[in-house]
Amino acid sequence: MRVLKLIFKNAQRHKLRTFLTVLGISIAVIAFGLLRTVVTAWNVGVEASAVNRLVTRQAVSFIFPLPYSYRDKILRIDGIEKLSFMNWFGGVYKDKNQFFARMAVDAETLFDVYPEFLLSKQEKETFIKERNSCVVGRDIARQYNFKIGDVITLEGDIYPGRWDFVVRGIYQPRDKTTDATQMFFHWQYLDEKMRTDAPIRQGEVGWYVMKIKDPGQAAKISAQVDALFKNSRAETKTETERAFTQGFVAATSSIITAMNVMSFVIIGIILLVLGNTMIMAARERTREYAVFKTLGFNAKHLTGLIFGESLLISALGGGVGLLLTFPIVSFFEQNIPKGFFPVFQIEPVTIILAVSSAILVGILASIFPIQRALTTKIVDGFRHVG
């Protein structure tokens, strides 16, 4: 009990220094938590990929289109339960800062292949019937206050012109990792307009999405699909949805890697901040430790004093930082465009890493001061001035 009392007293001896150390650790923990949340949010689409979905894209790159005529040939392959297709539309809503995914799709099959997009029967039927209709995700509807019957106007960039779509459905996400920030409209509507405006681009889709009966047959079915179009003008590459999603993420992999590295560099900064505080405290208390040794305090007691103070300051700073991380992440979630990060929340692994790092830093920062206190002779301690 006496050692615990001394630990608290020592931590309060230089209140300003302790406060600044706790503040520095808190800021570092907040930065760590925010960076880790960005990294996990970027990869959430990969984690949410279904094991029973395959994607067929152009072999060179997914930015190149595939012929619509491939659809019937792919459907003949055994093991495919449902087949749909999608086409990235792009476009601008209001201004270029208002980003969310806008895609032309096969309205009749989309929700069969993606059962995690929950849409009422009536909304689905209306969407299929009306060629200029669209469906938007719940999060996008909330952000822009879209309601059934509203008209969304887009200015085309990949597909030039003014495009008007009537909202006929708002889909709900089935799981917390389901992307609810997308807009879907009829591919046929896009194709019909291309027949007039750009005939050379008619009959093109972005990629095909297959829902297969047995995930264990994914490799076999992928090989069969690609064999159909080998040596054609548009060869294909069929892969799991997870691999396809990773292809999108890979385009920014260097940025994500840098952020990931920086999040752990911050741990080193925490260690330096706390280590500097503990070394200064140990140097100032050299004579005190000599007195403690004279009074009968052994190595265990001195170790407990220094280790306890280091861990107390580290835990306090880490705890404050972690508590502040939640409202700060929530603030970012409310203010960044939903389309950039469909799911932006602190993952349990981030909390575990932050807590573990605070404890580890408290332990490491105490090693040198403990070694100094234990190896300094009593006579040398009394001679020390500082």
Q: How far apart are CA 250 and CA 252, in angstroms?
A: 5
Residue 267, CA distances (Å) to 4, 107, 271, 342 in order: 27, 49, 6, 28
**pLDDT at residue 106 tops 90:** yes
Structure tokens at 173: 């996400």
Q: How far apart are CA 144 and CA 19, in angstroms?
A: 43
Q: How far apart are CA 6 and CA 12, in angstroms?
A: 10
Cβ pair 24, 321 in contact under 8 A: no
Q: How far apart are CA 167 and CA 144, in angstroms?
A: 12
DSSP 93: B
Q: How far apart are CA 84 and CA 74, in angstroms?
A: 11
Confidence (pLDDT) at 164: 92
Structure tokens at 124: 């689905």
299-335 and 15-42 are packed helices; what angle lies between their axes, rounded to 10 degrees?
A: 50
In this predicted model, what pLDDT tens digit does every residue of 277-315 receive, in sequence order?
A: 777 777 777 787 778 778 777 888 788 888 888 888 888
**pLDDT at residue 1 tops 60:** no
In this predicted model, what pLDDT tens digit does every residue of 318-371 receive, in sequence order?
A: 899 889 988 888 887 776 665 556 667 788 888 888 888 888 888 888 888 888
In this predicted model, what pLDDT tens digit does every residue of 189-224 receive, in sequence order?
A: 988 887 776 554 567 899 999 999 998 899 999 999
Cβ pair 351, 359 in contact under 8 A: no
| pTM, 2 dp | 0.68
